[in-house]
């Protein structure tokens, strides 16, 4: 298979949807010689901030001189964002070769899913490249999710836990926390986000105790803010100074999580600081233009959009805000919109490129509850173009609602600006 055929093959497994369980990935990895057993992992689960935390940890590992694999989802612009080595996408030729080997084996396993095939491909490539460490992001949940085939990670990480995917993971914080904590392994260190919901923290503490694992919780009260802006935050913590290039206080908490993981891995503060300042992650409060100011953020649930709202109130309260926004229909759309759209001067409603997307016209009805000026453009490109035309000199364009929307937005602005 060539690269295009390889990607099409992976996408063809979408017809089987999301199917919790490890039996299929276990069969496929066994047929591949269990490449995951050759690798050292930092395993990251949670609801919000996983991608940011993963990118920070990977950047620190690179600063330490390690051959660092990174596996994340979903991708924003390029499919190969999901599998990288030292910040470089998996080459198209390598991906084609890997999938040519995997496809006939995967076809022998009934209803194996897209994410399972891709996880196996990542394991195989990382093993072939002899990675020193792999930062591995959970796709959905944790306990019965395909990345959880790994054993004895160097560190298990629990990012911020909030309500999301409630039909699959449960409709309470405690139920969701149990699924996320399924990645905790016996006698393996665990790091948690410093500001967990009390119910989530209770489950995390219980599960680490049951697995006889040591739990590390960063002390957010020890942070001293030195400087903060829309470009990021500089702060002191534990006697050292750090800069995180993602704005918002929630990103400082994500950075504290990454710092604690790095300390578990025995990296010095100098290496940690060097890695953090160079971390990159698309569509995480990403500023793509200063004139006009345009921010692209993949926040897609109430907790994430609440954090975005606090960021906008703090740093852009003096600007008229033009929103380009769309969401998936299976999210808590009304609640999520209620955090950000009261800040909007205008809202341009779009449909994300995903089968689960809420149509723009339907999202517009929700948007009208919170903003008097709601527009339905002809598509994402038209929305981006209109947002620039409508944005006053003292304004900003905020694009949010779904990571599945962010890629099209970034591509559109690349042509417009």
Mean pLDDT score across all residues of the chain: 95
Query: What CATH code is carried by the domain that includes residue 384?
Result: 3.90.190.20
The H-or-E segment that residue 71 falls in is strand 68-71
pLDDT for the residue numbered 416: 94
Q: Based on the fold, state whether residues 257 and 337 are members of the same structural domain.
A: no
- Please give the tally of structural domains in the chain: 2
Q: Is the pLDDT of residue 163 over 80?
A: no
Higher pLDDT, 20 or 101: 101
230 and 314 fall within a common domain: no
Do 70 and 190 belong together in one domain?
yes
Task: Give the pLDDT of residue 371.
Answer: 97
Residues 66 and 154 in one domain: yes
Q: Which of 255, 277, 299 is a domain's end point?
A: 277
Does pLDDT of 302 surpass 70? yes
Q: Please check whether residues 162 and 110 belong to one and the same domain.
A: yes
Q: Are residues 250 and 398 in the same domain?
A: no
Where does a domain end: 277, 296, 327?
A: 277
Name every residue whose Cβ is closer than 8 Å to that of residue 291 and which is 6 or more positions away in sequence.
none
Conformation bin of residue 238: beta by default, left when phi > 0, alpha when psi is -120 to 50: left
If asked whether residues 200 and 102 sit together in one domain, one would say yes
Rounded to whole angstroms, the Cα distance separating 348 from 357 reads 16
Identify whether 74 is preceded by a cis peptide bond (ω within 30 of 0): yes
Q: How many helices (H) and strands (E) does the chain have?
A: 15, 17
State mean pLDDT over 335-364: 96
CB 170 within 8 A of CB 197: no
pLDDT score for 373 = 97
Q: Give me the helices (H) in 230-355, please.
A: 249-264, 269-277, 302-315, 333-340
Pairing of strands 133-137, 41-45: parallel
- The two beta strands, 374-375 and 344-349, are parallel
C-alpha distances in angstroms, 356 versus 102, 373, 386, 404? 28, 26, 25, 10
Tokens 């020890």 found at: 222
SS3 276: helix
- Pick the last residue of a domain from 277, 308, 326: 277
Query: Over the stretch 6-15, which tens digit does the pLDDT of each residue have?
Result: 999 999 998 7
Q: Tens of pLDDT along 353-410?
A: 988 999 999 999 999 999 999 999 999 999 999 999 999 888 999 999 999 999 999 9
174-225 per-position pLDDT tens digit: 999 999 999 999 999 999 999 999 999 999 999 999 999 999 999 999 999 9
* 335 closest CA partner among 285, 374, 369, 295: 369
Residue span of the structural domain in which 180 resides: 3-277
CA 154/CA 64 separation, integer angstroms: 16
Rounded to two decimals, what is the model's pTM? 0.93
For residues 70 and 169, state if they share a domain.
yes
Query: pLDDT band at 99, cuts 50/70/90?
Result: very high
Strand partners, 289: 294
Whether residues 306 and 231 share a domain: the answer is: no
CATH number for the domain spanning 41: value is: 3.40.1190.10
Residues 160 and 217 in one domain: yes
CA distance linking residue 56 with residue 251, whole number of Å: 10
My answer on whether 65 and 140 are in the same domain is yes
123 lies in the same domain as 259: yes
pLDDT at 154: 98
What number of other Cβ atoms are within 10 A of residue 372's Cβ? 10
């Amino acid at each position: 298979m060539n690269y295009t055929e390889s990607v099409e093959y992976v996408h063809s497994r979408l017809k089987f949807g999301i199917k919790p369980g490890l039996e299929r990935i276990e069969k496929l990895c066994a047929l591949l010689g269990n490449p995951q057993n050759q690798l050292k992992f930092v395993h990251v689960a949670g609801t919000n901030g996983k991608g940011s935390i993963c990118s920070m940890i990977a950047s620190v590992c690179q600063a330490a001189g390690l051959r660092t694999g990174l596996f994340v989802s979903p991708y924003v612009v390029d499919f190969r964002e999901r599998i990288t080595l030292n910040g470089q996408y998996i080459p198209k030729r390598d991906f084609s070769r890997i999938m040519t080997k995997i496809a006939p084996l995967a076809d022998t396993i009934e209803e194996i899913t897209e994410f399972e095939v891709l996880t196996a491909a990542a394991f195989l490539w990382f093993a072939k490249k002899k990675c020193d460490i792999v930062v591995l992001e959970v796709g959905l949940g944790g306990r019965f999710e395909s990345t959880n085939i790994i054993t004895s990670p160097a560190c298990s990480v629990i990012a911020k836990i909030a309500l999301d995917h409630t039909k699959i993971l449960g409709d309470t914080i405690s139920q969701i926390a149990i699924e996320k904590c399924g990645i905790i392994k016996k006698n393996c260190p665990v790091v948690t986000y410093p500001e967990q919901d009390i119910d989530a923290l209770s489950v995390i503490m219980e599960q680490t105790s049951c697995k006889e694992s040591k739990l590390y919780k960063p002390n957010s009260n020890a942070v001293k803010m030195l400087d903060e802006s829309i470009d990021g935050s500089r702060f002191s913590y534990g006697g050292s100074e750090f800069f995180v290039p993602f704005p918002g206080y929630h990103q400082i908490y994500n950075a504290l999580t990454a710092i604690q993981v790095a300390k578990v891995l025995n990296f010095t503060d100098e290496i940690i600081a060097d890695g953090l300042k160079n971390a990159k992650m698309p569509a995480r409060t990403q500023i793509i233009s200063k004139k006009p100011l345009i921010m692209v953020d993949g926040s897609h649930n109430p907790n994430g959009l609440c954090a975005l709202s606090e960021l906008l109130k703090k740093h852009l309260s003096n600007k008229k805000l033009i929103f380009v926004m769309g969401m998936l229909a299976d999210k808590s759309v009304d609640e999520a919109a209620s955090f950000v759209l009261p800040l909007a001067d205008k809202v341009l409603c779009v449909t994300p490129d995903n089968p689960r997307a809420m149509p723009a016209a339907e999202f517009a009805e929700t948007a009208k509850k919170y903003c008097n000026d709601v527009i339905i453009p002809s598509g994402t490109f038209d929305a981006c173009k209109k947002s620039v035309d409508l944005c006053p000199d003292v304004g900003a364009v905020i694009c949010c609602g779904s990571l599945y929307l962010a890629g099209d937005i970034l591509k559109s602005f690349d042509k417009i600006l």
